[in-house]
Amino acid sequence: MPQFDPHKYAYPSRRNVVYARRGMACTSVPLGSQIGLEILKAGGNAMDAAVAMAAAMPLLEPTGNGLGSDAFALVWVEKEKKLYGLNASGVAPAAISAHLVRDLGFDQMPKEGWIPTMVPGAPGGWAELNRRFGTKSLPELFAPAISYAREGVPVTVNVSKQWAKDARRLQGAAEKNPAPHAYWQKSFLKEDGSPYQAGDLFQWEEYAQTLEELAATSCESYYRGPLMERIVAFSQETGGYFSQEDFRGYHPEWVEPITADYRGYTVCEIPPNGHGITVLMALNILNGLTLSQERDCADTYHKILEAIKLAFADTKTYVADPQYMKTKTADLLSPEYAAKRRALITGQALTPEAGDPSCGGTIYLCTADREGNMVSYIQSNYTTFGAGVAIPGTGISLQNRGANFSLDEGSDNCLAGGKKSYHTIIPGFLMKDGDAVGPFGVMGAFMQPQGHVQVIVNTIDYHMNPQEALDAPRMQWIGGTQIQLEREVPAHIAQALAAMGHQVEISNSNIDMGRGQIIWRTENGLLAGGTEPRCDGTIAAW
C-alpha cells in the first residue's frame, strides 16, 4: 500500500462553487453532509436533514460537539416566508453560584470538570425542531448515526489535530481530579491512552444505544427519564452540582431573530444570550463607512477590525441571559448608538472600551430542500471536548459553556443557578426584500461574529461567490490592539496595519480562523454552496 502523510499538502488547492436544484447539505465532515443528503433524497425536508446531521456530528466530530452540547438554529419556512429562531442553550445547575466558585479558590470560571457544565440543550433542540417542522420520525433521522456508530467512522484529518491537542488538556485535568474525568478518557482515548489519529476507525456502541433511547422517547429520557437519572447520579457521585429538577424544568425556546440592514440586505442572528448581536452592531458601524474598492488593502482590514472591536467591547460587557440584561437589545442596535461608535474610528488602531447604549470546540451545518426551506444550525461543546466529563455507559460528554460566565457580582453575566451563560455560538441567515438568500455560519468561539462580518462584507461589498467568500484571507481581533492575520494576507497589508498601531501576529494555524459553510439561493432558483477550506468541509448536492 502507498505510504503518505495525511497532514502534508505541499501545493495550493482550489474549490469551486457547487450548484444544486433539489437540495444541499453542508458541514465540516464529509459523512455529515452525506447523511443530510440521504434524508433529503428519501423525502425529508431541510429540517429533517439538519436534525439527522446534528445527531451524527457528535460521532463524526466529537472535538466540537456531543450529546451534552447546546445548540441554536435559524429556520426558514418557505410557504410562510418566515424565519424562526430556536435557542436550545441550557442553564446552570440551581446549586451553583459565583460565591461558591470563588470560595473554591477560583477567580474566573474553569474550563474543566463539573463547575462549567450546564443542562445541555441540544437533544431537546433536535426534538423540538422535529416536533414543529419535521416530516420524518426521530428513529428514521437517527438511523444513519446509529449505524455509523456501530460500524465505525474514519477520523478525519482536522478532527484528529483537535483530538490530539485537547487530549493533552484533559489528561492534565484528569491527573488533578480523576473522578469526573476517568470515563472521558475511556470513551475518547485508545486502549494505550493515545488520541485517535487521522484514518483510525472510531466505533461507539454506547452512543448508538443512547440515540436509540432518545429516538424512542422523543428525547424525553434525557430530561425526564432514565438518561437524566444517570447524568444526575454520576454528578452527585463525583462532585457535580446537578439535580433532577435542573433537567425536568428545561425546555428549548423559540425566539424572534434579530436583524440589521446592511446595504440593502437583511442580516439575521439569534438574540442574546448568544453574541450574534456583535455581528449586527459591527455591520451597523460599517454601514456608515465607505470601504475601499479593493478588499485586500489595509484600509478595508482596518475599518472591519475597528468595527468588530467596538461591537465586541459592548457585547462582552452587556450580553447575558436576556432575563438578566439591564441593557436593551434595541438600544445596542439603534442607529444613533452605531453613529456614536462609528465616530470613534480614525486612521489609528484604538483600544476599545464599552460605550453607554442606555443613552438613547463547535460544529456548524446548513441545509436547503426543493421546497425552499432552509436551516442554519450550530451545536457546540465550547472548548473542543468541553468539560472532559463523560457519563458512564451513555456516550454523553458534557459541554463547558458555563466557562463563559463571569464571577463578578456586578456583571449581568454573573454565574447563578438556573441562568443561561453568554454564548459564542451563532447561526446566521441572509435575506433580501423579505425573501431568503440563505444560511451561513463560521464556527470557532470568539472568531464566529468576526467570521460572519467578513463573509457578509465579502459577499455584499465585494460580490464574492460563496466559495470565494470563505476562501478569502481572514483577520481576527484578539484583545486590545492585538490582531491575528492569516499567512495568506499580503505582507504589505500587515506592514500597513502595524503602522496604524495594530499589534500584528501572523497565525500559523488556519483552523483557528473559523470554519464556515454557506448556501445561497440564486435568482433562477438554484442553490449555490461554499464550504470551508480550513477544515474537512464538504457539500452534498442533489
Distance CA 270, CA 259 (A): 9
Residue type, 314: D
Residue 383 CB neighbour total at 10 angstroms:
23
In angstroms, the Cα distances linking 351 to 130, 319, 333, 354, 358 are: 45, 20, 21, 10, 21
The pLDDT, as a whole number, for residue 190 is: 92
> Cβ distance 403 to 116 under 8 Å?
yes
- The pLDDT value recorded for residue 180 is 87
Half-sphere exposure of 54 (CA within 13 A, CB side): 35
Question: Comparing 49-58, 136-145, 341-350, 440-449, which segment has the lowest mean pLDDT?
Answer: 440-449
pLDDT, average across residues 86-93: 97
Mean pLDDT lowest for which of 17-26, 179-188, 299-308? Answer: 179-188
Mean pLDDT of 47-65: 96
Give the least confident one: 17-26, 69-78, 160-169: 160-169
Say whether pLDDT at 444 is over 90: no
Distance CA 48, CA 132 (A): 11
Give yes or no for a contact between 364 and 339, defined as CB atoms under 8 angstroms apart.
no
Q: How far apart are CA 131 and CA 148, in angstroms?
A: 25
Q: Residue 354: what pLDDT?
A: 59
Please tell me the least confidently modeled range out of 31-35, 175-179, 277-281, 347-351: 175-179
pLDDT of 402 above 80: yes
pLDDT at 462: 94
Cell of 186: 475511556
Higher confidence at residue 242 or residue 183? 242
Residue 292 amino acid letter: S
Model confidence at 1, pLDDT cuts 50, 70, 90, reads low
Angle among Cα 163, 230, 192 to the nearest 5 degrees reads 30
User: Over 223-281, what HEC string results?
Assistant: HHCHHHHHHHHHHHHCCCCCCHHHHHCCCCEEECCEEEEECCEEEEECCCCECCHHHHH
Q: Identify the pLDDT of residue 358.
A: 45
The per-residue pLDDT for 357 is 55
Lowest mean pLDDT among 11-15, 170-174, 483-487: 11-15
User: What order of strands is seen across the sheet that includes strand 503-507?
Assistant: 475-479, 482-486, 503-507
| pTM, entire model | 0.95
Mean of the pLDDT values across residues 3-7? 73
Q: How far apart are the first and last CA of the chain?
A: 34
Please report the DSSP string for 267-320 in residue order. EEEPPTTBTTHHHHHHHHHHHTSPPPS-SSSHHHHHHHHHHHHHHHHHHHHH-S
CB 336 within 8 A of CB 486: no
Query: Among 89-98, 400-409, 447-456, 503-512, whose mean pLDDT is lowest?
Result: 503-512
Q: What is the mean pLDDT of residues 427-451?
A: 92
What does the block give as the cell for 319?
450580553
Average pLDDT score over residue span 50-74: 96
Q: For residues 266-290, give the mean pLDDT.
A: 95
Please report the pLDDT score of residue 360 as a whole number: 39
